[in-house]
Amino acid sequence: MTQSKNTKNTQYAQRSTQHASVAIIGADNNVGIALTKQLLNHPHIDLTTITSREHAKKRLDRVYPFFLGQSDLVFSPLNIHKIGRQNQVVFLNLPADQSMEIAFKLRGYGVKVIDLSPAYRFQNVKTYQKLFGKHQAKKLLKEATYGLTEIFSEDIGKSMLAAIPDAMATSVILALAPLLQNQMIVMKPLICSVEQQQGSACRCGQKNKRVIAEIEEKLIMLGGKDFALTLDCKDTLTQNALLTTLYVQPIRKWKNDKLINTFRRFYNLSPYIQILDDGIACNTDNVMGSDHIHVKLNYDEHSETLIINTALDKLGKGSASTAIHCMDLMI
C-alpha cells in the first residue's frame, strides 16, 4: 500500500458524474444489499452484475422482496472473465483470502477494485501476516490505497485498488485526524470506548487486536509518532450502530468553540462529516440509514480531558457508503 502521509482532502467529489459499469462480487449479505441499494439509485452507474453462490440464477427481488419494482437483476455465479470484460469497477465483498485471489485476476483486465475485506488495509505486510496469516497478493498490497475519503481523497482518486476501512477504524481515525495533524494532543495511550450491536462485544477479542493495529498504523502515519490505543467494547441494542467515545489529553486548555471550528476547517470539503454544535447530543438514532458520521467534542476543564463522541451506521459510513464514496473519486 502506497499512501501519502498528509493528503488532507482538497477536492472531495460528492458524487461522480462519470458513467461506469459496476459489479458486486458477494452481494447476498447485509453489506452487499446496502451496496446494491445505493448503486441502483446512483444516477451515473449501471449495476450490471451481482454474484451469489447460494442464490445464483435467482432474481434479486425474489430473494429480497424490498427490491420489487426497482430492479430485474438476477444473481449470477462468479465469472471473472465476463465481469472483468464488462465493468470498469468491481466491489469485492468477500473474505480476505478469496478477495486476494479474485482482485489479482480482475486487475489483469484493468478493472478498478474496491475491496471491503481486511486484505489490503495495511501498509506493513508483516503486521497483516501477524494478525491474519500469510498474504497471498503482496504485489497488489503495494498499489492499494486506504479508502478513507476524508483523509486520502487525492490518493484514492488516482488508485486502481481501494481498501475500505473497518467501521471502528473509520470512527476513531476521523475523530483524531484533525488533532494529530494540528499537533493538538499529547501522544500518550489513548482510550476508546466502543458501543456496538448486542453480542458483538463478546466476539471482539481477536477483532480488537486487528482493528487496533489498523488504527494505530494510520494514526502514526498522520501524527508521525508512536503510541498505543486501548479499546473497550460494550453492547448496544441498536442494530448496525457504532458509537465511540475517545478520551485524549490536549497539549493545552481549549474552549469547545475553538475545537469545533478547528474540526470544521479540517473537514470543510467533507460533506459526510457533521461536527455537532454544543447542546446537540451524539447518538446513533440520528445516523441510522445515512452515509454520515456525527462528531461531538467536549473539553472537560476539571480533568483537562477532551472527550470525543462519534456515531455512524456500520452499513452506511461504516462500509457501503464509504465504498461508494471511493468509487465516486476513482471513476
Residues contacting residue 321 through CB under 8 Å, at least 6 positions apart: 34, 38, 272, 290, 291, 313
**What percentage of the chain exceeds 90 in pLDDT?**
77
Other beta carbons within 10 angstroms of residue 302's beta carbon come to 5
**Cβ-contact 308, 175 below 8 angstroms:** yes
Q: Which residue has the cell 475485506?
A: 117
Higher pLDDT, 17 or 286: 286
Residue 197: pLDDT band (50, 70, 90) is: low
What is the predicted pLDDT for the residue at 158? Answer: 96
Q: Is a pLDDT exceeding 90 seen at residue 210?
A: yes
Which tens digits make up the pLDDT trace of 253-301? 989 999 999 999 999 999 999 999 999 999 999 999 999 999 999 999 9
State yes or no: pLDDT of 101 exceeds 90. yes
Least confident of 81-85, 237-241, 300-304: 237-241
Mean pLDDT along residues 4-22: 60
Task: List, in order of start, the domains of the chain with CATH numbers.
Answer: 20-166+319-330 (3.40.50.720), 167-313 (3.30.360.10)
pTM of the prediction? 0.92
pLDDT for res 225: 76
pLDDT at 202: 43
